[in-house]
Amino acid sequence: MERICLFPGTFDPVTKGHVDIIDRAVSLFDKLVIGIGTNSSKQPMFTLEQRCDWIKEIFKHEPRVVVEGYDGLTVDYCKKINAKYILRGIRYISDFEYEKAIADMNRMLSPDIETIFLTCSPEFSTISSTLVRDVIRNNGNVGLFVPKEVKF
């Protein structure tokens, strides 16, 4: 049975922290689906198409990485793509508390889907898409925080 994992997020924009998690997780699975979800509480800065294109370009030489947009419950999308795992990146303990609550809800909704947490490499722990968007809005240099493929 193929081991399929979903890495859900808004990736608005994709950061070096996201890439770090994907790079380290891809060898654990037969297929790693980067699911760009619609979050009703967030208004994205970049289009779904642009975010998908960036990730496809970054991982164009990694056939196990697939990028797709989705909406609705993450566990429902997992069922649609036959994913038995959800990957979440953790930067700080506050991330863990938030992500654990989501993982617990997902487990109650779908006990057969496991959530796996990977901690971010230390050099990327301060990077968040929210902070990167603030730098972009203020015309700052985001080159330290995003992969070279992220151009706007």
Mind giving me the DSSP string for 71-105? -S-HHHHHHHHT--EEEEEESSHHHHHHHHHHHHH
Residue 144, in any domain of the structure: no
123 belongs to a structural domain: yes
Catalytic residue among 16, 51, 88, 91: 91
Question: Quick check: is 121 catalytic?
Answer: no
61 flagged as catalytic: no
Global pTM? 0.95
Domain range enclosing 35: 4-137
Structure-token pair, residue 92: 């700080």
Rounded CA-CA distance 136/45 in Å is: 10
Which of 42, 60, 80, 151 is an active site residue?
A: 42
Of the candidates 119, 98, 143, the one whose C-alpha atom is nearest the C-alpha of residue 20 is 119
**For 28-87, what is each residue's pLDDT tens digit?**
999 999 999 987 777 899 999 999 999 999 999 999 999 999 999 999 999 999 999 999
CATH number at residue 50: 3.40.50.620
- Let me know if residue 148 belongs to a domain: no
Catalytic residue among 16, 51, 88, 129: 129
Please pick, among 3, 16, 18, 31, the residue that the annotation labels catalytic.
18
**Residues 92-144 pLDDT 10s:** 888 899 999 999 999 999 999 999 999 999 999 999 999 999 999 999 999 99
Residue 29 token pair: 């699975």
Q: Are 20 and 121 in contact (CB under 8 A)?
A: yes
Whether 27 sits among the annotated catalytic residues: the reply is no
Q: Is 129 a known active-site residue? A: yes
What domain count does the chain have? 1
